[in-house]
């Protein structure tokens, strides 16, 4: 591989697949036997924690799981930690899905939360109701925001929702808070039709991809709090003092980042050495 340019060229133009292999190793390794590195808490997460603490017992939260299973994999720590807070506070949850894979989530999530459910005797039907997949598109969100009961008649198992705490909900404005976990599915619609129209405070668990966009919304006051990706979740776990998947995966997280940085450094050294010797060029989108 190393022709003219020698080692430098090698450093500048190694086979991509090495990156893949290394990434696999640095992620799987610490997960199988954790190291337990310390972490820092970001201001975003502190704010999120504070916002959730404003909830009172008996408040009704619209809990929208707008994520595929993949999104859940990233948001897991945040989801679990947030729901632990909800359960602890005795908040009532109205759970909705924004993606058809959502039906796989409750089993998984409530299995993780079992101990907490038992400890606070938190029951489906009384304390939380799963209304299922109700957000196929923007129209559905808007309709539901305007008239809840005309669009939701049964929960995800087909039982009627008459005579539950949802009777107090006429439109989106009757929720005390929207807690959203998003891979960017129905979230924009919810901001448009629920937050903007009825002024419900909305806290957001966002995957890293959507974080930049939601930072703008946060700054514009459309969101009240933002929990960023796995890392935010881990920090929240730290704040509520109940370690979970997040903190466990932070080692892998750190190493993953560091390995990319190392690759970047190596690449740059190689790039310099190589291009200085042979006027060779390598290409990317940046002019």
Q: Binding residue for another protein (CB under 8 A) from 49, 62, 65, 253?
A: 253
Q: How many angstroms separate the CA atoms of 81 and 48, rounded?
A: 12
The answer to whether 240 touches 255, Cβ cutoff 8 Å, is: no
Q: How many angstroms separate the CA atoms of 247 and 260, rounded?
A: 21
Q: Would you report the helix, strand and coil content of the chain in percent, each value rounded to 5?
A: 55, 15, 30
Bridge partners of 178, per DSSP, are 62, 202
Rounded to a whole number of angstroms, the distance between the first and last alpha carbons of the chain is 28
Size, binding site for another protein by CB under 8 A: 101
Which CB atom, from 58 or from 136, has the smaller least distance to another protein?
Answer: 136
Q: Would you count residue 3 as binding another protein (CB under 8 A)?
A: no
User: Cβ 18 to another protein, closest distance in Å?
Assistant: 9
- Which of 262, 283, 250 has the alpha carbon at shortest distance from 35? 250
Q: Binding residue for another protein (CB under 8 A) from 6, 173, 213, 243?
A: 213
Q: 123 to 162, contacts with another protein by CB under 8 A?
A: 132-134, 136-140, 142-143, 146-147, 150-151, 153-154, 157-158
Q: How many angstroms separate the CA atoms of 132 and 149, rounded?
A: 14
Q: 73 to 112, contacts with another protein by CB under 8 A?
A: 73-77, 100-101, 103-104
Which CB atom, from 55 or from 227, has the smaller least distance to another protein?
Answer: 227
Which CB atom, from 239 or from 252, has the smaller least distance to another protein?
Answer: 252
CA distances from 2 to 8, 14, 264 (A): 8, 9, 19
Q: 187 to 206, contacts with another protein by CB under 8 A?
A: 188-189, 191-193, 196-197
Which CB atom, from 110 or from 120, has the smaller least distance to another protein?
Answer: 110
Q: Binding residue for another protein (CB under 8 A) from 167, 258, 277, 278?
A: 258
Which range in 9-17, 46-54, 114-122, 172-180 contacts another protein by CB under 8 A? 9-17
Q: Would you count residue 279 as binding another protein (CB under 8 A)?
A: no
The answer to whether 234 touches 211, Cβ cutoff 8 Å, is: no
Q: Binding residue for another protein (CB under 8 A) from 52, 231, 239, 273?
A: 231
β-pairing, 202-206 with 225-228? parallel
User: Cβ 116 to another protein, closest distance in Å?
Assistant: 18
Which range in 34-42, 51-59, 88-96, 115-123 contacts another protein by CB under 8 A? 34-42
The token pair that represents 80 in the structure block:
């679990």
Q: How many angstroms separate the CA atoms of 276 and 6, rounded?
A: 12
């Amino acid at each position: 591989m190393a022709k003219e340019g020698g080692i430098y060229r090698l450093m500048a133009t190694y086979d991509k697949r090495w990156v893949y292999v290394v990434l696999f190793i640095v992620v799987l390794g610490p997960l199988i036997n954790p190291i337990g590195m310390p972490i820092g808490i970001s201001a975003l997460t502190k704010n999120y924690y504070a916002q959730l603490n404003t909830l009172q017992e008996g408040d009704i939260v619209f809990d929208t799981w707008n994520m595929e299973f993949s999104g859940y994999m990233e948001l897991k720590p945040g989801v679990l930690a947030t729901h632990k807070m909800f359960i602890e506070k005795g908040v009532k949850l109205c759970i909705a899905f924004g993606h058809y894979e959502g039906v796989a989530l409750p089993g998984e999530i409530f299995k993780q939360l079992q101990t907490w459910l038992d400890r606070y005797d938190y029951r489906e039907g009384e304390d939380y109701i799963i209304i299922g997949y109700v957000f196929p598109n923007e129209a559905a969100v808007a309709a539901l925001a305007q008239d809840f009961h005309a669009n939701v008649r049964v929960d995800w198992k087909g039982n009627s929702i008459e005579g539950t705490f949802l009777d107090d909900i006429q439109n989106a404005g009757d929720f005390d808070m929207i807690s959203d976990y998003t891979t960017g599915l129905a979230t924009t619609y919810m901001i448009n039709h629920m937050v903007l129209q009825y002024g419900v405070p909305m806290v957001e668990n966002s995957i890293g991809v959507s974080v930049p966009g939601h930072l703008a919304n946060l700054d514009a006051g459309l969101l009240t709090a933002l929990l960023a990706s796995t890392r935010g979740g881990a920090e929240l776990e730290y704040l509520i003092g109940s370690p979970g998947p997040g903190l466990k995966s932070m080692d892998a997280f750190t190493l993953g980042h560091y390995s990319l940085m190392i690759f970047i450094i190596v690449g740059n050294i190689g790039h310099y050495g190589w291009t200085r010797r042979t006027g060779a060029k390598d290409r990317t989108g940046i002019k």
